[in-house]
Structure 1
């Protein structure tokens, strides 16, 4: 019984701690783990995961893909974000930056994949094409998907040479392999 009380206390403490975070003030600083486009001229593909915001981070991650063609001065980042749909925008977001490894609203990202050089140069056009064909670009559902993890999983299925393996905590990644068309 004492152990159960301890577990409940820790869980409640975590809820209180997470509920005090404000997404508007949470860190979005670079984590310093991406390859700098100022220092590397080779083509680069990187995939990142960071704990989801607030209590969701206890069991789920948010994932995104960044590509930098050879000689490019910035990365193009592709990600799916649910709040965009609520605002009448596509869930699929594309932007350019020198720092694709930014904290995900307070959570430090982990690099899941890094491909460089000739292989990256060959795969970037395939990734770009797959992004343009992503069937759920305007949809978002936390569970079972499509969500932020469905997107890179779907890209990985379209470009198997990428050899992308998402972690178990990438909830919604299985949606991509279970569905061939949008609902």
Structure 2
């Protein structure tokens, strides 16, 4: 029991508190009304960029929540077409299409591009992405739960699991990515590269090529990345090469 308490203190509680302290010392918008939601200018203008493209992006969320969590979304663009951005939000009909600029800031925080896929492979995967979005089981009004899920990150994680050819997993600070309803305790990726165990998103384990080795408690993650050596800490995310 003492070893378990020490593990929780060192690997989860201490990093989370440190991240909260850093966040509290930083200046943040007072409310969503005063936050900047405009384009960050990271993506080229669609009319100037002919190839098909798929992007997965994430940005720190607002307030103290941003110390521990990011908000993620998906952007698609057919060849010679415009951007379509898919988010899940916590008000109204939760799945929003083009509710914000494709590369828009989230609560004034610049996004990070987690995946940029262009050309023929992007064109091939866009119909699969759209099918996964259409099949998402928590798209109705009331289908958003901030913690442990299903939230914005649960939505994007669903699409990434359904289209493993995208080849990525959401970062460890994407709280809610490990949400599963009770009864779905074991998830094996379609390409057999990752195995996840989940107790309703409250606790779990993961091992595989995309996740490395992760211990998940209350949506926070402590883990080791093997293929790209690094360590994963609550709030700070992945630190390594």
Give TM-score scaled by structure 1 length: 0.81
Q: How far, CA to CA, are the matches of 1:39 and 1:14 in structure 2?
A: 40
What residue in structure 1 maps to residue 158 of structure 2? 154
Matched, 1:115 2:123: no
In 2 relative to 1, CA 104–12 (structure 1 residues): closer, same or farther, beyond 3 Å? closer
1:114-153 equivalences in 2 (<5 Å):
114-138=116-140, 139-153=143-157
Q: How far, CA to CA, are the matches of 2:27 and 2:73 in structure 1?
A: 26
How many residue pairs match? The answer is 166
What residue in structure 2 maps to residue 3 of structure 1? none
Q: CA deviation at 1:36?
A: 2.3
Q: Pick one of 90, 93, 117 that aligns with 1:90.
A: 93
CA deviation map 1:105-138 (0-9, x unaligned):
2111111100000000000011011111101112
Q: CA deviation at 1:161?
A: 0.5
Q: How far, CA to CA, are the matches of 1:81 and 1:143 in structure 2?
A: 13
- RMSD between superposed Cα atoms in Å: 2.6
Q: How far, CA to CA, are the matches of 2:97 and 2:76 in structure 1?
A: 11
What residue in structure 1 maps to residue 83 of structure 2? 75
Determine helix, strand or coil for the equivalent of 2:96: strand
What residue in structure 2 maps to residue 175 of structure 1? 179
1:78 touches 1:94 (CA, 8 Å); kept in 2?
A: yes
- Unpaired runs of 5+ residues, structure 2, are 1-16, 185-199, 201-241
Determine helix, strand or coil for the equivalent of 1:123: helix
Greater relative CO, 1 or 2 (CA 8 Å, sep 6+): 1
- Unpaired runs of 5+ residues, structure 1, are 1-6
Q: CA deviation at 1:21?
A: 1.6
CA deviation map 1:138-173 (0-9, x unaligned):
211111110000011000111111112210000000
In 2 relative to 1, CA 179–94 (structure 1 residues): closer, same or farther, beyond 3 Å? farther
CA deviation map 1:12-33 (0-9, x unaligned):
9817954x62211211121111
Q: How far, CA to CA, are the matches of 2:22 and 2:165 in structure 1?
A: 44
2:43 touches 2:103 (CA, 8 Å); kept in 1?
A: yes
Matched, 1:53 2:56: no
In 2 relative to 1, CA 36–168 (structure 1 residues): closer, same or farther, beyond 3 Å? same
What residue in structure 2 maps to residue 14 of structure 1? 24
Give 1 or 2: higher helix fraction. 1
